[in-house]
Structure 1
Amino acid sequence: MLKSLAITLALLGAPSSITAAPSDGDLVVEGRKREALQEFVQALTDADRTRQLARWNRAICPSIVGVDEGQAALIEQNIARVAESLGLQAYPQGCPTTMLIVFDNEAQAIGAALAKNQTVFLGQQGRDRLIDFAETKNPVRWISLSDPCGFGGCTLTGSRLSKSERPAINMMLVLVDGQEIGAFGLYEISDYLSMVVLGNPVLGEAWPNTSILSMFSRKREDQPFLLTDNDRAYLAGLYTSRTDATGPIQRRSIVEKMTNSGEQSE
C-alpha cells in the first residue's frame, strides 16, 4: 500500500437615501472585525505570505479508502456538494482520482515512509512541506501538488499586482489517523475534510476557533462541529479571487469577500 500511495503522490432591504454618519463605536467594531478576518485568512494560508494561493480548477474527483462504502459515499457526497457551491464540477465522466483520502491506523508510519521514499522532485519548499506532512501529530494531515500554470498557462507580466503564474491544484493526498480522530461523528469528519481538500489550508496547529479546523483542539460541546460561516465565506472568497494575482492581493480579496458577506471572526 505504501508503494501505491507513493506512486499516486508522484502522479499526482433597500438602503435609505440618507445615511447617518457612523459613530466612533461603529468604526472600532468594524475595524476589529476586519482585523479578525485578516488574522483568520493569515492562519489558513501559507506562512510565506508572498506566495500565491492555489485552488482547484473546474473539476474534482475524490476517492476515499479505508472506510466502508456507505461511509465513503457520504464523505464524497458532502465534498461534492460543497465543491459545487463554489462552481466546481464533481466527478466528471472518466475523471482520474485527484483527491485521495486514506483512513488508516498507521497514518504516522505511512507519512514517514512517503517522506523517506519520495519519488518526485518537489523543490526545497516541496520537500519542507513533505517533512511537515510526515512529522505532524495532527489526526488529519494533507499535502498537495500544484501546477503553476494550471489556469490556462503562464504569461509574462510586468505588474506588481499580478504574476505570470496561475497555480491550480492537480493532486492532494489526505491521511486520516483512525486512532486519533476520537469520537467525532461522520458528518463532522466529512465537513472537516471538505474544508481541507477544497481550502488547501497550510498544515498547522493553531487554528482559529471560528473554523472547523480547530475541531480537534477544542473542547467537545453540545453542538456538532460543522463548517462555520467563516469557513464558507473563506472558501467563497478563495474561489472568486484572481488566479493571476499576487499572494497579498488574493488575501485582501478574500478578506473583502468575507467582510461583505457579513461574517465575523473572533
Structure 2
Amino acid sequence: MPHRRFLPLLLLPLLALPVTAQDVLPEIVVQAPGEAASQAFVGDVLDSTHGKQLARWHQPLCVTLRGFTPDQEDRFTKRLQEAASIAGLHPPKAGCRPNAIVLLTNAPDLLIDRMLAQHPGIFAPAKPSEVRRKLADGGVARVWSVALTMGADGSTPDAATKGGATITSVKIAPGNATRLASATRADLFRAMVILDVKGLAGLPLDAVADHVAMRLLGQMGEAEGGRLPSILSLFQTDAGTRPLALTDWDRALLRELYTAPAGTTADRQRRQIARRLTETAGSEP
C-alpha cells in the first residue's frame, strides 16, 4: 500500500472564523422531484471524470484543521464526522494520521503560492501551473484532492511513488481488457480545502462545516443555486434562500455515492445515483 501521510505545511498566519457556534440547525426537509431533476443535480455537483470512476474514501476520514479557535475546531470536526457517518465511514481512531486538511486564511492565493514553493509534493503529480489553474478561481472554498487507482478489492495495483507523487497502473489479464472498470476503483487518498475567511462573514459555523464535509467526502463542485436544495450552493445563492445545513438531497447523495458499485464507470455510477436519489431523497431520515 502507498505510504499514507499528509505532507507538512508551512502555513501563513490564519484568522479565526468570524461566526459564533450555535446549536444544531433544524433539519431541512425537501420533497423529491423527478429523475430528470436528480440527473441534473448529480451532473451538476459530481466531478466529470470522462468515463473513469467516481472517487470516494475507503478508510476513515481523519481531518486536521488550521486557523480555527479550539471551540470552533471541535464543533467543525464533529459536523464533518457526522456527515462521514452518513456516508458509512467509520470514525477515525485517536491519533490517526491526517488524510485531509481544512485551512482558514485571509490570503488564500498567497498561501497557495507558499505551499507550491516550499511543499510542491502536496500537489504531486500535478504541475504548479495546473494547481494554480484549478485553485485560482477566487471561490470561498478551494478544493484539491488526490485519488488513487486501486484494485476493485482494495489491493494496490503496480504503483510507483516519487517525491510524494503516486502513479498507478493496472495490468489486465489477456481477454479481460474490456473489464477494466470492474478491475479497479478510485480511492480518495488525500484532500485539502482552503477557506477564504473574507467570504464567510455572517455564515453559521455549522453551515460552513457541512459544505466542507460534502466537498471532502467526494470530488464535488458547488451546486448551482436554485437547481435543488443543497448545502453545496452555500456560496452560490442569496442569503434568504440558501440551505444552512445538509438537506435530504445531500444526505441521499452521500449515501448513494458510497453505496454505488465502486468498480463500474463514472457514467453508470452517476445514473444509478440519480435514479436512487429520486427514490430516497425526502423519504429517509
Q: Aligned in 2, Cα 1:134/1:108: closer, same or farther, shift over 3 Å?
A: same
* Contact kept? 2:230, 2:243, Cα under 8 Å: no
* 2:155 aligned residue: 152
* Contact kept? 1:210, 1:230, Cα under 8 Å: yes
Which of 9, 24, 30 matches 1:5? 9
1:196 paired to 2:215: yes
| Structure 1 position 161, deviation (Å) | 8.0
Amino acid at match of 2:213: S
Normalization by structure 2: what TM-score? 0.73
Which of 180, 184, 201 matches 1:182? 201
Q: Aligned in 2, Cα 1:38/1:116: closer, same or farther, shift over 3 Å?
A: farther
* Contact kept? 1:45, 1:201, Cα under 8 Å: yes
1:246 paired to 2:265: yes
Matches within 5 A, 1:1-266: 4-5=8-9, 33-115=34-116, 118-119=120-121, 121-123=124-126, 128=130, 130-149=131-150, 151-154=154-157, 156=172, 157-159=176-178, 162-202=181-221, 206=224, 208-221=227-240, 225-263=244-282
Q: Aligned in 2, Cα 1:221/1:99: closer, same or farther, shift over 3 Å?
A: same
- Any idea what SS the aligned residue of 1:243 has? coil
CA distance in 1, matches of 2:282, 2:50: 23
CA distance in 2, matches of 1:147, 1:68: 33
Gaps of 5+ in 1: 8-29
* Contact kept? 2:99, 2:189, Cα under 8 Å: yes
* Contact kept? 1:152, 1:166, Cα under 8 Å: no
Identity of aligned residues (%): 23
Task: Give the number of equivalent residue pairs.
Answer: 236
| Structure 1 residues 181-220: Cα deviation after superposition (integer angstroms, max 9, x where no partner) | 1210111111111111113314x57454422111112111
Which has the higher relative contact order, 1 or 2, with Cα contacts under 8 A spaced 6 or more apart?
2
Gaps of 5+ in 2: 1-6, 12-31, 158-169
CA distance in 1, matches of 2:217, 2:60: 11
Normalization by structure 1: what TM-score? 0.78
Q: Aligned in 2, Cα 1:39/1:49: closer, same or farther, shift over 3 Å?
A: farther
* Contact kept? 1:115, 1:131, Cα under 8 Å: no
Q: Aligned in 2, Cα 1:36/1:160: closer, same or farther, shift over 3 Å?
A: farther
CA distance in 2, matches of 1:86, 1:123: 28
| Structure 1 residues 150-197: Cα deviation after superposition (integer angstroms, max 9, x where no partner) | 733346344458343211111111111111212101111111111111
Question: Which is helix-richer, 1 or 2?
Answer: 1
TM superposition outliers: structure 1 runs of 4+ over 6 Å: none
Q: CA RMSD in A?
A: 2.9
| Structure 1 residues 98-134: Cα deviation after superposition (integer angstroms, max 9, x where no partner) | 110011111121124445663364257x963x23433
| Structure 1 position 4, deviation (Å) | 3.7
CA distance in 1, matches of 2:241, 2:233: 16
